[in-house]
Amino acid sequence: MRTSGGQGGEPSDAPGAPRTSRARPARQAPPRDDGTEVLPDDLPDGLVVADARGRVVCFNAAAARITALPREDALGRPVEQVLPLEDLEGRRWWKVTDPYGGLAIRTGQPERNLLLPGGREVLVSARYVRARPTGPVQRLVVSLRGTEARRRTERSHAELIATVAHELRSPLTSVKGFTATLLAKWERFTDDQKRLMLETVDADADRVTRLITELLDISRIDSGRLEIHRQPVDMAAAVDRHIRAHIAAGRPEERFARRIATPLPPLWADPDKIDQVLGNLLENAVRHGEGTVTIEVAPARTKTGDEGTAVTVSDEGPGIPEESMSRVFTRFWRGSKRGGTGLGLYIVKGIVEAHGGAITVGRSPAGGAEFRFTLPAGVPAFMA
């Protein structure tokens, strides 16, 4: 006869045995979420955990999103049914890996590309958790990641390589052609012809050098290794210097309007990098815009409310279409007029942000494009 009533009660002692009191374990309060506990649904990658029998006991929100399988349909089922993965050659991944029945010295599987039903690619890695070395698998932990970000990176790299190859081919072909011609037929050309060929070779060499510099800048920006050597910078003088260079190159003086609001706050920045930003923005305005190119320099506030300097470069051309403004600072954006590598504005944005500033694009009052970048002012902290 059972003496304890209700479901889950403890059975009575064996017949004839003396009754003894059994202490129940103290009920523990549920752990409080103090903000330090990491839950499976907090993870950015898919997490699937199977128990010692291969049944899924954890299936987080990212895994449900990546596999398009509801969590309730995954929990309790065999992991090979929940994740019917195949490799790129069509082999069933679980038969190849066999985490529960394979070699006992294995501790997991490195990340690799696998296919879900329907041909969807997913990056999968696994960890075999054992109570002791070479013991049976107690828990199988599988990580899932989508391939969209990697594909975007691969496409970006492929586009960069294709652009570089195209941009290098033209000047190098010219350099090779002119130098080979001069070496083979030096005596047949006049001094003026030789000078023209050598000037062309020199210009093409400069073009290759600029391209290599852009590639190095992109590499440093993407890896966060762009070095900024801060010095006092006179922004008004830098603007004047770039305007004079354009006038010396044959552009009419009336093409440029300069507006400087004084006094300007002290600015510490990398002079060479600032010259690169100004040069790119002015060249774009002159080449792709129309009418007067206006350069304004004025005190401004940064996004954090600190004191800063703002530089605005605008023109009176057709401007940039609204639908294209979100892509202006991306790689390879060239607008409606082809020409150049399309990397300049991407580098400009990287340089400005490396200084702690920000850059925006919009439409000028005259209807053309307007670029405005703001740099924080003041002496660097290490000199304060």
Q: What is the per-residue DSSP string for 238-275?
A: HHHHHHHHHHHTT--GGGEEEEE-SSPPP-EE-HHHHH
**34-43, 79-88, 219-228: which is most confident:** 79-88
Which of 147, 179, 201 terminates a domain? The answer is 147
Mean pLDDT for the stretch of residues 101-125: 90
**102-106, 267-271, 328-332: which is most confident:** 267-271
pLDDT (tens digit per residue) in 229-245: 999 999 999 999 999 99
Give the span between the Cα atoms of 47 and 63, in whole angstroms.
Answer: 6
Is residue 20 over pLDDT 70? no
Per-residue pLDDT band for 13 (boundaries 50, 70, 90) equals very low
Give the span between the Cα atoms of 161 and 218, in whole angstroms.
Answer: 13
- Same structural domain, 236 and 187: no
- Whether this model's pTM surpasses 0.95: no
- Same structural domain, 326 and 271: yes
Per-residue pLDDT band for 275 (boundaries 50, 70, 90) equals very high
Find the CATH number of the domain harbouring 98. 3.30.450.20
* Residue 41 included in any domain: no
Give the span between the Cα atoms of 293 and 313, in whole angstroms.
Answer: 7
pLDDT, residue 340, reads 61
- Same structural domain, 368 and 252: yes
3-state class percentages of the chain: helix first, strand second, coil last, to nearest 5:
40, 20, 40
Cα 365 from chain centroid (whole Å): 33
The share of the chain scoring above pLDDT 90, in percent, equals 54
- Same structural domain, 347 and 315: yes
Per-residue pLDDT band for 169 (boundaries 50, 70, 90) equals confident
* Residue 196 included in any domain: yes
Do residues 48 and 63 lie in contact, with contact meaning Cβ atoms separated by under 8 Å? yes
Q: Is 219 helix (H, G, I), strand (E, B) or coil?
A: helix
Which of 186, 207, 223 terminates a domain? The answer is 223
Cα 71 from chain centroid (whole Å): 31
- Could you tell me which of 287, 271, 206 has the C-alpha nearest to residue 239? 271
Find the CATH number of the domain harbouring 171. 1.10.287.130
Number of domains into which the chain is organized: 3
Output the CA–CA distances (angstroms, integers) from residue 306 to 20, 58, 274, 299, 361, in the order listed. Answer: 75, 48, 20, 11, 21
pLDDT, residue 336, reads 56
Output the CA–CA distances (angstroms, integers) from residue 72 to 55, 57, 59, 76, in the order listed. Answer: 13, 11, 9, 9
The strand ranges marked E within the chain are: 46-50, 56-59, 108-116, 120-130, 137-146, 231-232, 256-260, 268-269, 293-301, 307-314, 358-363, 369-376
Q: Is 83 helix (H, G, I), strand (E, B) or coil?
A: coil
Q: Is 349 helix (H, G, I), strand (E, B) or coil?
A: helix
- Same structural domain, 258 and 366: yes
- Same structural domain, 61 and 157: no
- Same structural domain, 370 and 246: yes
Give the span between the Cα atoms of 218 and 329, in whole angstroms.
Answer: 13
* Residues sharing a CB contact under 8 Å with residue 300, sequence separation 6 or more, in sequence order: 308, 309, 310, 374
pLDDT, residue 90, reads 86
Q: What are phi and psi of 26, to 5 degrees?
A: -65, 135
User: Which residue segment(s) compose the domain that 318 sits in?
Assistant: 231-376
- Same structural domain, 239 and 206: no
pLDDT, residue 4, reads 40
Find the CATH number of the domain harbouring 267. 3.30.565.10
